[in-house]
Structure 1
Amino acid sequence: MFERLGRLVVHNPWKVIAGWVLITIAIVAFAPTLSDVTNSDQANFLPADYESIQANQVAGQAFGQSTQATATIVVKRQDSQVLTGGDQSSVGDLATTLEGARIDHVERVVTGKQFLSRNNKVQLVNVGLKGRPDDPALVDAVKDIRAQATKALRGSSLEYAVTGQVAMQADNSDAFNTALLIVGAATIVLIIGLLLLIYRSPLAALLPIFTVGLVSAIAPGLVAWLAQAFDFQVDQSVQIVMTIVLFGVGTDYIVFLLFRFRERLRDGDDPKTALVAAVARVGEVIASAAAAIIIAFMALLLAVFGAFTSFGPGLSIAVALMALAAVTLIPAVVSLLGTKVFWPSKSWQRAPKGSVFQRLGKFTGRRPAVVAVASGGVMVALALGMIGFNTDYDQTGQLPSDTESARGLVYMQLGFPTGALNPTSVYVKADSGTLDQKALTRYAQELQDVPGVGGAMPGPTGLPFTTNKAGNIAKIDLLLDTSPYANESLDLAGGPLRDVAHSRAPDGTRAYVGGLSSVFADVRDANTRDLWVIFPVAGVLIAIVLGLMLRSIVAPIYLMLAVVLGFFSTMGATVIAFQGIGDRAGVSFMLPMLVYLFVVAIGTDYNILMIARLREEAKEGHDPRTAADLAVEHGGPSVGAAGVILAGTFASMLLAGVSFLMEMGFAVSLGILLAAFVMSMFLVPSVTALLGHAAWWPGHSDRATAKPPTERRDPAPVA
């Protein structure tokens, strides 16, 4: 099949290129954009059966603020002493000034005695904002609030800081934008630089930039078109992840093809014949690798967390498009260029003698047991780092310490529990009639007595609760002793606090625990559930793809075991680096899924390429150990080159200076290096050599279809 496709493409390059150009024009000109099919109200939220979402719905019914954002102004004296009566009046004047400033998206500004700390050292001003916390327009509102507050308090003995979720977003927006520019520029420079180093040719170096750029222009429109046709949801953030994935898999596929093309040229084939043979050999690898990645991405549809499900279809379509380009568009371009694709280098004319990969191949063939134990041992040792694994939901930990929102948290701790930034709200809804205020007061006190709760924030009337106009729903804002993002707060809001809230609720009422800590407690549960469902399902489906490709049961089993070990090795090393050496409370809760997306899915490419090469060498008539030797010699350079390039692009995130991006850059780049250089280059060939013919059971995929070359290496001695 791929040989026929190769002949068609290589001998009709202009028709293939013209077809791609017409498709690009049609999609760019007529297809909808991703924003046309984005549903921001559903994509990033938990299902309605989670308690935090039910609490938000009750809040919306009662107070109409279930999706509104807030900013908190923390005011204290410059000498950190008790606020005087005059100071408190100045804080009230600040609220009045902000209320009258008519700042866009500011709906209300509230302060008073109920916002004064018990030790009278800190007073809060609560600013209600119109819009969702992730609305970019609110960043400008926070900047205007800060400008007005600076004017209002100028010359006084008071100082302030605006903090809260929106303020954190405002403080981090510039840092993230700068980081993305650095990462984007570094990615392109690294890809071009590494390909120049590998091929010593500007054309070969620019080929991925051209191809991925073209596919990146087509993919969003195609995804949007199919989303409308098949009614699936996508999220706007898919665009960023899609670009990273396309650069990753696109560069891999191009490297695989060019290495095989160059190898056939060195064997004496003319350029057209060499390219047809390269497409025939690598086409199956690319198709199988793309199928594995698509399955891994589509398994995300099994998630209950909307942020994960929105990635599946869009990324799968993009990978399928990139795989199609790799076996059609790229060979068509290379067919026109011929050997000039390697210009001005002459390295394509001669095979290197005594290369590193030749030596590594010989050692693997001669000592497969030693190589298997050593490579497997390295991965197991790194995987042990998972013993100390903790997830971190603390967004405040991502903040640089010199930002205003971080300073506001420090001010707040002078007088309030840490959880005052984002109260945990308990909503009480009467089954019928109105609520009993005496019963609510007793109930609020029982909630405050729960260990870990630092108190309750009084409502406008001074009572520890706020009721709606109908009097049938009440809100009790609890202040936890720890940060609302900390695991202790999540444990409390999702465990003991919910138990007490439900069991002690006044007769004839039902209680719901909401607020940020409750939301993240549910996100954590959903995340854990998704990991336990998605990983096994994707693993089984990828193993089936491998089984069909290899016509074997044994090989897919140890290949997938190697992939699982690679995942745990990557996560273990990241835990050691950031929790052990870096002394952080945990790694980002999103990291396991990102490692799954970029290491497990894309890293499987290298396993497929290597196992396909092992089978090819066996079919050439080589014994298992010689096949392992030759597979490392010939397949190792392409796997190594692809791994270095892809790892280098993610390593550029270490320059970002933002904690989450640094974690992601470290984990993914290390995971890809482990997948390429430890798992695919050493562990898989050595285990295959040790198993011999049994690796291909029950089929005969290794059965020789040709006699071994007359000039061949001596058989590798038994280890």
Structure 2
Amino acid sequence: MFGRVGRSAVRHPWLTILVWVIAAMGTAALAPPLKPVSDQAEFLPSHYESVRAGELQERAFPQQEQPASVMVFRRDDNGTLTEADLADVQKVAAGLDKAGLDKIKKVETSPQAVSPNREIALASIVATTKDPYNADLLDSIKEMREEAKPLLEGTALHMGITGASATTLDTLESSGDTDAMIMMATLVLIIVLLAAIFRSPLIAILPVLVITLVFVVATGLISTAAEFGGFQADSSIGSILIVVLFGVGTDYILFLLFRYREFLRQGQEPKEAMGEAVARVGETIASAAGAVIAAFLALLLSSLGMLRAMGPSLAISVAVTLLAALTLVPAVFSLLGAKAFWPSKAWRREPRHGLAARTASLTARRPGLVAAASGGLLAVLAAGVLNLNTVFDNAGSLPKNLESVQAAEALERGFSAGQTDPTRIFLEAEDGGKLERSQVTAYEKELSAAGLGQVTPAVLNPEGDVAQLGVVLKHKPDSTQAIDVVSGPLRDVAHEAAPEGTRVLVGGTSAVLADIQHATNRDYSVVFPAAGIAIMVILGLLLRSAVAPWYLMLAVGLGFAATLGSTVWLFQGLMGEAGLPFTLPVIVYLFVVAIGTDYNILVVARLREEVKRGNAPAQAVRQAITHSASTIGTAAVILAGTFGVLLLAQNSMLQQMGFAVAFGILLTAFVMALLLVPAVTTLLGHRTWWPGRATPDTEPEAAPEPPAQEPALAQRG
């Protein structure tokens, strides 16, 4: 089948290219734009308590105003605020209130907004939108910071703005243009590495152009599917799509190009050589893509809308990349023929195998030693997972010199850390009844007696059937401590103390994060096994084996644990971080497990090919490693380097993500795919392919053993 697809593309190259260009132009012009989704509560299922609390708040208190951010005032000398200082706070707040900034309804302060030790005063910034992440609101917060500077001149005050909107603004600015940074790094790495290996400007540039075209088509299809297909896709998926498309796209193009060059070296005509290359590696590419698509679609089983939205989007992008690899790439390179390698002529010569050949020989001669060494290394690194601590504190990953971070620290000198975003507790009368004031007062006293935080006075809605109370925790709303308090003792006390005939719902940022934590833990136990089973089925179909998929997936699981463990050793152990982002296991799953499986598939597919030619297991391993090392090494370095750029970011969360994925990809490629998997395959011998038979392939399309063609990474060719 793949041979027919490839030969069709090379027989009609201009038509194939034209179809792709029209598809890109059409999707770019007609597809609707992706819309941002920033409220994490929207991603939670409706049965979670924090979601139901938010819905009740919308119904019972529709006009209630919540500060989008908070202005924190202190003296320059950190002393006690005087009456003159407090008058200046009023003046600054009034001046900013009259500034008429977009999305800002009012800026207000009061005598009650002064801390008990009189070191800190606050002013609330109330927005006209309930979305604290609104782009216009963020621009106004930025402008407000500038507007405040002349108002503060001549006073003894220092002012900083913190809270949800201000922290989001600082997060965006400290991260910089991450998409542009990732895109630029990816392009440079692809061009430089391909140029170094093939010594050809065309081969260095054409994959970039092809994948850019694929990116346009994939993005258009994703936005169209999101608009009409009933699933939610967030515009923030752009940076992930860049890495996925350029990562898997480069993998598949390299898989194809190395085989194409091999057949050209044998003397075949370009169109014949490309058709044969697609026939040989088409099944491998399709299986690799199928494994990645299955892993991404497993995210549909997640209870988090954030992950459910990501799954189909990434699956669509990989499917488009697969189609391009089997049609567009063959069409382009068959037109160029041997000119694609211009000006280098080294591709005509059989290269020296170098390091790849020595590694292959060692693995074939001493498979037990190689398996023990590589598996032992992964096991030692994986031990770090035992100390893994996940955190939700995104602000804690920001540089300490940012205004929102410094203002939050100043606020804690006079108020509880949860002052900017109290936990909301809603007491509702059941069966259409009304709340008695005595019931509300007694409930308020029981919450206060629990000593979990300062309880603010209850407010009843106009209908008198819902009361809202606030609990100001001692910890920041997105901290691990606050989440633990809300998910455990606070919810327990709130529900147990509810008067007869009422029900209680606990909401707010800490409650939302507590529910996300619960949903994430549930997803890990469902999504990961489902993806593993799907990938095993694909491996079994590709290899016609019931044995190989088992140890391949065990190796993948060990690589996953080693990646997380390495990140724990570095950031929690050596660098003293409190924990790693709670999303990190999912990120590692997406890029290390899903995409990294490509390298395993390429190696074992080549192993099976060599065995079917009649080679003994040891000789098959020699050939497979030698033939695959450059392809895997190049693809892994490009993908790892792309994520490695994130280590340059100031945001520690991005640094942790960049290291985890970059190091994980390198582990998967160089330790697992090129050492552990071939060594175990050698030890198992022909039993690897049970119940299939390890006999020479007698099908008509089988070709004799071609000469080795891939150079080591360090070799020019």
TM-score by length of 1: 0.93
Q: Deviation string for 1:141-189 (max 9, x for gaps)?
A: 2123323433333312222111011101222322223444333222211
CA distance in structure 1 between the partners assigned to 2:673 and 2:152 by the alignment = 63
Matches within 5 A, 1:341-490: 341-431=340-430, 432-450=432-450, 453-456=452-455, 458=456, 464-490=457-483
The code of the aligned residue for 1:12 comes to H
Bigger drift between 93-102 and 345-354 goes to 93-102
Contact 1:599 1:675 in 2 (8 A): yes
Report the CA distance shift for 1:711/1:173 in structure 2 as closer, same or farther (over 3 A).
Answer: closer
Partner of 1:538: 531
Partner of 1:597: 590
Contact 1:618 1:703 in 2 (8 A): yes
Partner of 2:277: 278
Report the CA distance shift for 1:83/1:505 in structure 2 as closer, same or farther (over 3 A).
Answer: farther
Aligned residue for 2:176, secondary structure, equals helix
The code of the aligned residue for 1:649 comes to T
CA distance in structure 1 between the partners assigned to 2:58 and 2:126 by the alignment = 15
Report the CA distance shift for 1:67/1:214 in structure 2 as closer, same or farther (over 3 A).
Answer: farther
Partner of 2:163: 164
Partner of 1:135: 134
Partner of 2:626: 633
The code of the aligned residue for 2:403 comes to E
Pair 1:550 & 2:543 matched: yes
Partner of 1:716: none
CA distance in structure 2 between the partners assigned to 1:143 and 1:55 by the alignment = 31
Report the CA distance shift for 1:708/1:52 in structure 2 as closer, same or farther (over 3 A).
Answer: closer
Contact 1:424 1:477 in 2 (8 A): yes
Q: What is the alpha-carbon root mean square deviation over aligned residues?
A: 2.3
CA distance in structure 1 between the partners assigned to 2:639 and 2:574 by the alignment = 25
Partner of 1:32: 32
CA distance in structure 1 between the partners assigned to 2:26 and 2:148 by the alignment = 52
Report the CA distance shift for 1:711/1:573 in structure 2 as closer, same or farther (over 3 A).
Answer: closer
CA distance in structure 2 between the partners assigned to 1:190 and 1:67 by the alignment = 49
Report the CA distance shift for 1:311/1:178 in structure 2 as closer, same or farther (over 3 A).
Answer: closer
Bigger drift between 472-481 and 196-205 goes to 472-481
Q: Deviation string for 1:451-495 (max 9, x for gaps)?
A: 5x3423x4xxxxx23332333322222221222222111111111
Report the CA distance shift for 1:701/1:227 in structure 2 as closer, same or farther (over 3 A).
Answer: farther
Partner residue of 1:50 out of 48, 51, 73: 48
Matches within 5 A, 1:74-89: 74-89=72-87
Report the CA distance shift for 1:14/1:711 in structure 2 as closer, same or farther (over 3 A).
Answer: closer
Partner of 2:506: 513
Partner of 1:696: 689
Cα deviation, residue 65, structure 1: 6.2
Partner of 1:147: 146
CA distance in structure 1 between the partners assigned to 2:64 and 2:364 by the alignment = 64
The code of the aligned residue for 1:576 comes to W
The code of the aligned residue for 2:257 comes to L
Partner of 2:12: 12
Pair 1:59 & 2:57 matched: yes
Report the CA distance shift for 1:413/1:702 in structure 2 as closer, same or farther (over 3 A).
Answer: farther
CA distance in structure 2 between the partners assigned to 1:493 and 1:65 by the alignment = 26
Cα deviation, residue 270, structure 1: 3.6
The code of the aligned residue for 1:255 comes to L
Pair 1:524 & 2:522 matched: no
Aligned residue for 2:478, secondary structure, equals coil
Matches within 5 A, 1:563-602: 563-602=556-595
Pair 1:614 & 2:607 matched: yes
Partner residue of 1:672 out of 662, 665, 674: 665
Contact 2:398 2:650 in 1 (8 A): no
The code of the aligned residue for 1:52 comes to S
Cα deviation, residue 589, structure 1: 0.9
Aligned residue for 2:235, secondary structure, equals coil
CA distance in structure 2 between the partners assigned to 1:88 and 1:67 by the alignment = 24
CA distance in structure 1 between the partners assigned to 2:296 and 2:694 by the alignment = 28
Cα deviation, residue 433, structure 1: 4.5
The code of the aligned residue for 2:19 comes to G
Structure 1: which 5+ residue stretches go unaligned? 459-463, 714-719
CA distance in structure 2 between the partners assigned to 1:710 and 1:316 by the alignment = 35
Partner of 1:643: 636
Partner of 2:294: 295
Cα deviation, residue 226, structure 1: 3.3
Partner of 1:717: none
Cα deviation, residue 637, structure 1: 1.5
Contact 1:425 1:514 in 2 (8 A): yes
Pair 1:491 & 2:489 matched: no
TM-score by length of 2: 0.94
Contact 2:178 2:239 in 1 (8 A): no
Bigger drift between 85-94 and 470-479 goes to 85-94
CA distance in structure 2 between the partners assigned to 1:641 and 1:89 by the alignment = 65
Cα deviation, residue 67, structure 1: 9.8
Aligned residue for 1:353, secondary structure, equals coil
Cα deviation, residue 126, structure 1: 1.5
Contact 2:251 2:635 in 1 (8 A): yes
The code of the aligned residue for 2:281 comes to V
Same amino acid, percent of matched pairs: 46
Partner of 2:711: none
CA distance in structure 2 between the partners assigned to 1:66 and 1:304 by the alignment = 30
Bigger drift between 414-423 and 315-324 goes to 414-423
The code of the aligned residue for 2:173 comes to D
Cα deviation, residue 701, structure 1: 5.5
CA distance in structure 2 between the partners assigned to 1:289 and 1:146 by the alignment = 51
The code of the aligned residue for 1:70 comes to A
Cα deviation, residue 570, structure 1: 0.6
CA distance in structure 1 between the partners assigned to 2:504 and 2:570 by the alignment = 42
Q: Deviation string for 1:7-50 (max 9, x for gaps)?
A: 22223222221222232233333333334xx7777994211111
Contact 2:117 2:414 in 1 (8 A): yes
Report the CA distance shift for 1:122/1:479 in structure 2 as closer, same or farther (over 3 A).
Answer: same
Cα deviation, residue 437, structure 1: 3.7
CA distance in structure 1 between the partners assigned to 2:270 and 2:706 by the alignment = 24
The code of the aligned residue for 1:611 comes to V
CA distance in structure 2 between the partners assigned to 1:598 and 1:50 by the alignment = 29
CA distance in structure 2 between the partners assigned to 1:547 and 1:88 by the alignment = 73
Bigger drift between 102-111 and 315-324 goes to 102-111
Contact 2:186 2:642 in 1 (8 A): yes
CA distance in structure 2 between the partners assigned to 1:223 and 1:65 by the alignment = 36
The code of the aligned residue for 1:580 comes to G
Bigger drift between 601-610 and 660-669 goes to 660-669
Bigger drift between 131-140 and 12-21 goes to 12-21
Bigger drift between 103-112 and 199-208 goes to 103-112
Pair 1:559 & 2:555 matched: no
CA distance in structure 1 between the partners assigned to 2:195 and 2:63 by the alignment = 56
The code of the aligned residue for 1:120 comes to R
Report the CA distance shift for 1:150/1:250 in structure 2 as closer, same or farther (over 3 A).
Answer: same
Partner of 1:92: 90
CA distance in structure 2 between the partners assigned to 1:712 and 1:198 by the alignment = 18
CA distance in structure 2 between the partners assigned to 1:494 and 1:509 by the alignment = 20
Bigger drift between 257-266 and 666-675 goes to 257-266
Aligned residue for 1:79, secondary structure, equals coil
Cα deviation, residue 687, structure 1: 0.8
Contact 1:14 1:332 in 2 (8 A): yes
The code of the aligned residue for 2:363 comes to T
Cα deviation, residue 613, structure 1: 0.0
Partner of 1:191: 190
Cα deviation, residue 551, structure 1: 1.3
Report the CA distance shift for 1:267/1:367 in structure 2 as closer, same or farther (over 3 A).
Answer: farther
Partner residue of 2:649 out of 634, 656, 660: 656
Cα deviation, residue 116, structure 1: 2.1
Bigger drift between 108-117 and 203-212 goes to 108-117
Cα deviation, residue 510, structure 1: 1.8
Cα deviation, residue 68, structure 1: 6.0
Matches within 5 A, 1:216-365: 216-365=215-364
